[in-house]
Amino acid sequence: MKARTPHPVAYGLRVHRLSGDANIAAPAQLIGDEARAAMLLALGSGRPLSASQLAAAARVRPQTASSHLTKLVAGGLLRVECSGRFRYYRIAGPDEIGPVIGQEGAPGA
C-alpha cells in the first residue's frame, strides 16, 4: 500500500497560489544551482560586487563564475553596472524581476 503524502496544512504550512500566468520554473532553475545561489546570497546586502568577489563567495573559478553570471543576467535576475573596466553585479529590482516570472511589477503584487 502506497503511503499518502500529508496535506501541507497538516504541518502548519501555507500554500500560496500565484496569480495569472506566473512562471517561476525558469528563475527557480537558475537559483537552484549551488554556485548561483551562493552568488545571489552574497548580493543580498544590496551592495554591487565584482565577478571575482562573487567567484570567491561561490568558491568557484573565475571562468565558472563568469558563465553563471551570464546566465543570471540573461535570466533577468541580475543587472550589470560598468565602472571603468570593471563590471559590478547587483540583484535586479522588482520592476525587472516581475516580467521574468510573468507578472507586472513586483512579485506578489
* CATH T-level assignment (fold) for domain 23-96: Arc Repressor Mutant, subunit A (1.10.10)
* Whole-angstrom distance, CA of residue 97 vs CA of residue 68: 17
pLDDT in tens, the chain (109 residues): 555 555 444 444 555 555 555 667 778 888 889 999 999 999 988 899 999 999 999 999 999 999 999 999 998 899 999 999 999 999 987 655 544 445 444 444 4
| CA 76 and chain centroid, separation | 9
State the pLDDT at residue 92: 87
* Whole-angstrom distance, CA of residue 50 vs CA of residue 99: 25
* Whole-angstrom distance, CA of residue 23 vs CA of residue 6: 26
Q: What is the pTM of this model?
A: 0.66
State the pLDDT at residue 107: 44
Nearest 10 degrees: Cα torsion 57, 61, 64, 68: 10
Strands (E), the chain: 49-50, 78-83, 86-91
